[in-house]
Amino acid sequence: MDATLKQTITELIAAHGVLLFMKGHKDAPQCGFSNQVVQILKHAGADFHTVNILDNEALRQGMKEFSNWPTFPQLYINGEFIGGCDIVTEMFQKNELQPLLDKARKAS
């Protein structure tokens, strides 16, 4: 991966306690899976930042490589890749997500 892109990604992940790479924007999701994660995070009262990968093809491909994950959405909490819609939904239902969100650094 291009070094500049990797740095951009690393800085993004470090800058936000709860960060969602998604299709669309938190207030206007453009995909059902992305929307589902947004709704879960809002319901959980999380302070989260979103990045629209539809706007940036280089970032879109970069995140697939960086996360070793071929799809979006991709949720990061405190710099750790948590997973996509299925994993986030399952964790939320089993009350595993809320504790992670509560420990997350506040959005800047």
Partner 1 sequence: MLSHDALAALIRQAIPDAEVLVREFAAGGDHFQVEVVSPAFAGKSRVAQHQMVYAALRPHIDDGVIHALGLTTRTT
What is the binding site for partner 1 (CB under 8 A)? 32-33, 68-71, 81-87, 90-91
Q: Least separation, in Å, of the C-beta of 56 and partner 1?
A: 18
Please say which residue, 17 or 73, places its beta carbon nearer to partner 1. 73
Q: Which is nearer to partner 1, 10 or 61 (CB)?
A: 61
> What's the CA gap between 28 and 73, in Å, rounded?
14
H/E run at residue 4: helix 3-15
Planar angle of CA 83, 40, 103, nearest 5 degrees: 70
Minimal distance, residue 68 CB to partner 1, in Å: 6
Closest distance of CB 84 from partner 1, Å? 7
If the CB atoms of residues 44 and 83 are measured against partner 1, the closer one turns out to be 83
Give the distance, in angstroms, between the CA of residue 91 and the centroid of all CA atoms in the same chain. Answer: 14
State the nearest-atom distance from the C-beta of 108 to partner 1, in Å.
25
- DSSP string covering 89-105: HHHHHTT-HHHHHHTSP
